[in-house]
């Protein structure tokens, strides 16, 4: 019996794929499988708006229940896929049901990296992945609390800003010598570091956690230099790992997540993977295999995977793009900064600026912009287009704020 299209993972990526299948005329069955009880929702607000909203927060849903019903998308909430049988083209679910499929999409996302200490799963420690996680954290970060955050990356620092807005004290512990070491130029990281310190955040860089101990009403965080931080709550934000166990047990190729080709096909031609859980080759970087953990990639790949499940045969070609909000500052990064060997700075109004990353051959490979609100958004968007075209713009023209970047596109 034909099984139609099945999607495991009901986040931004999986939900977008289900809707795209209908938008492109597919009239067979579409089943979306999610282990949460909520409708599919966007995750970026969890570390920001959900934490600081004065009103009772609600998830930012990808679509409401009526939209899924109108499009005849069967959405199985609170359900996990526990095994895939590629030969039979079927999935076994937690309730012992077996679901057949013609094509399967794995959009299982990524999960927080766990701190390998026994007490890291205690009641005074928390990880942020789901809306329910966010609500639990929100309830513990009121005025007067002391919150320690392990990890000085995007999510850890977004949480630090949110916690300060709620009036709690914050200590950020970062193992490496500075915050934002992953893909953020030091010039920008220094500004964000200073902004956090100006808000009273204690940034403890170059320090690692040796042990965790229960304290009266809190947790003792023992650092490798012997110092101790006593906090009401420890938020652990030390990166994410792809959720690829289901794929690995089914015999699919794994390489920094579920390995897919440029069309997002796994090593099984009837199974696709998209979003945070998969690594894929990017042609504009010479076929370099990457795994991206960002909202836009989840959205773009959900759409692309659905089209390719219908036979479109399109390759992943979007330029990576991500952003983070730190207080009033917004950092936007297009491309892969570590591909660049030379930096060119372009100063804009009100202290905003963009760093253009150039490869040895002069090709623009990334742009990192920092400013308030959308001060850098337009120029970063044009930079995306230049990166996609593998352009080699004149560095002097990039540096001059009076030069319209669109004129470099024309050239």
Long-range contacts of 56-59 (CB under 8 A, 24+ apart): 57/134, 57/135, 57/138, 59/131
Q: What is residue 3's predicted lDDT score, i.e. its pLDDT?
A: 80
Split at pLDDT 50, 70, 90, the class of 211 is very high
Provide the residue ranges of all domains of the chain, joining segments of one domain with +.
5-111+241-309, 114-238, 328-410
**CATH placement of domain 114-238:** 3.50.50.60
pLDDT at 410 over 90: no
Split at pLDDT 50, 70, 90, the class of 1 is very low
Query: 3-state DSSP call for residue 331?
Result: strand
Q: Which of 171, 177, 236 is nearest to 207 (CA)?
A: 177
Residues 6+ apart with CB under 8 A from 57: 49, 50, 134, 135, 138
DSSP conformational letter for 42: -
CB 323 within 8 A of CB 41: no
Report the distance separating Cα 27 and Cα 41, nearest Å: 24
Q: Average pLDDT of 35-63?
A: 95
Q: Which of 11, 2, 244 is nearest to 103 (CA)?
A: 2
Per-residue pLDDT of 233-256, as tens digits, reads 999 999 999 999 999 999 999 999
Per-residue pLDDT of 180-197, as tens digits, reads 999 899 999 999 999 999
Q: What is residue 411's predicted lDDT score, i.e. its pLDDT?
A: 74
Q: Do domains 5-111+241-309 and 114-238 have the same CATH topology?
A: yes
pLDDT at 268 over 60: yes
Report the distance separating Cα 303 and Cα 367, nearest Å: 25
Pick the CATH number of 5-111+241-309 from 3.40.50.1970, 3.40.50.720, 2.40.50.100, 3.50.50.60: 3.50.50.60
**Mean pLDDT, the chain, as a whole number?**
96
Compute how many other C-beta atoms are within 10 angstroms of the C-beta atom of residue 404. 13
pLDDT at 2 over 70: no
Report the distance separating Cα 225 and Cα 181, nearest Å: 21
Q: Which of 334, 372, 374 is nearest to 355 (CA)?
A: 334
Q: Which two tokens stand for residue 381?
A: 């968007």
**CATH placement of domain 328-410:** 3.30.390.30
Q: What percent of the chain shows pLDDT beyond 70?
A: 100
Report the distance separating Cα 346 and Cα 45, nearest Å: 30
Q: What is residue 122's predicted lDDT score, i.e. its pLDDT?
A: 87
Compute the 3-state secondary structure of the chain and give helix, strand, coil in percent, each to the nearest 5.
30, 30, 40
Cα dihedral 241→178→294→274 (10° resolution)? -30
Split at pLDDT 50, 70, 90, the class of 23 is very high
Q: Average pLDDT of 97-102?
A: 96
Strand-pair category, 169-174 with 364-372: unpaired
pTM of the predicted structure, to 2 decimals: 0.95
Can you give the length of the chain in residues?
411
Per-residue pLDDT of 295-315, as tens digits, reads 999 999 999 999 999 999 999
């Amino acid at each position: 019996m034909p099984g139609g299209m099945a999607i495991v993972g009901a986040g931004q990526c999986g939900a977008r794929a289900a809707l795209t299948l209908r938008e492109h005329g597919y009239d067979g069955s579409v089943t979306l499988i999610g282990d949460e009880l909520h409708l599919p929702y966007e995750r970026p607000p969890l570390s920001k708006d959900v934490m600081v909203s004065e009103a009772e927060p609600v998830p930012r849903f990808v679509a409401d229940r009526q939209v899924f019903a109108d499009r005849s998308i069967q959405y199985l909430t609170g359900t996990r896929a526990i095994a895939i049988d590629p030969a039979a083209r079927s999935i076994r679910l937690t309730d012992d049901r077996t679901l057949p499929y013609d094509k399967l999409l794995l959009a299982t996302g990524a999960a927080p990296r766990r701190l390998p200490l026994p007490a890291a799963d205690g009641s005074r420690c928390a990880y942020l992945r789901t809306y329910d996680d966010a609500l639990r954290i929100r309830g513990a970060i009121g005025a007067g609390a002391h919150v320690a955050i392990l990890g000085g990356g995007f999510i850890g620092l977004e949480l630090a800003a949110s916690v300060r807005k709620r009036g709690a004290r914050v200590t950020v512990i970062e193992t490496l010598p500075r915050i934002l070491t992953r893909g953020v130029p030091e010039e920008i990281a220094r500004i964000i570091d200073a902004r956090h310190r100006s808000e009273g955040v204690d940034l403890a860089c170059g320090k690692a956690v040796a042990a965790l101990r229960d304290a009266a009403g809190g947790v003792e965080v023992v650092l490798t230099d012997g110092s101790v931080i006593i906090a009401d709550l420890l938020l652990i934000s030390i990166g994410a790992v792809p959720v690829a166990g289901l794929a690995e047990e089914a015999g699919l190729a794994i390489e920094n997540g579920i390995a897919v080709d440029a069309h997002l096909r796994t090593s099984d031609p009837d199974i696709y993977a998209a979003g945070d859980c998969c690594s894929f080759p990017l042609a504009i970087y010479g076929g370099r295999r990457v795994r991206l953990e960002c909202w836009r990639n989840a959205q773009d790949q959900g759409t692309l995977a659905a089209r390719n499940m219908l036979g479109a045969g399109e390759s992943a070609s979007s330029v990576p793009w991500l952003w983070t909000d730190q207080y009033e500052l917004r950092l936007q990064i297009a491309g892969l900064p570590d591909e660049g060997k030379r930096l060119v700075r372009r100063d804009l109004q009100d202290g905003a600026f963009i760093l253009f990353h150039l490869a040895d051959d002069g090709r623009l490979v990334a742009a990192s912009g920092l400013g308030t609100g959308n001060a850098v958004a337009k120029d970063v968007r044009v930079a995306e287009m230049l990166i996609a075209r593998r352009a080699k713009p004149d560095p002097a023209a990039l540096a001059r704020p009076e030069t319209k970047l669109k004129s470099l596109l024309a050239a």
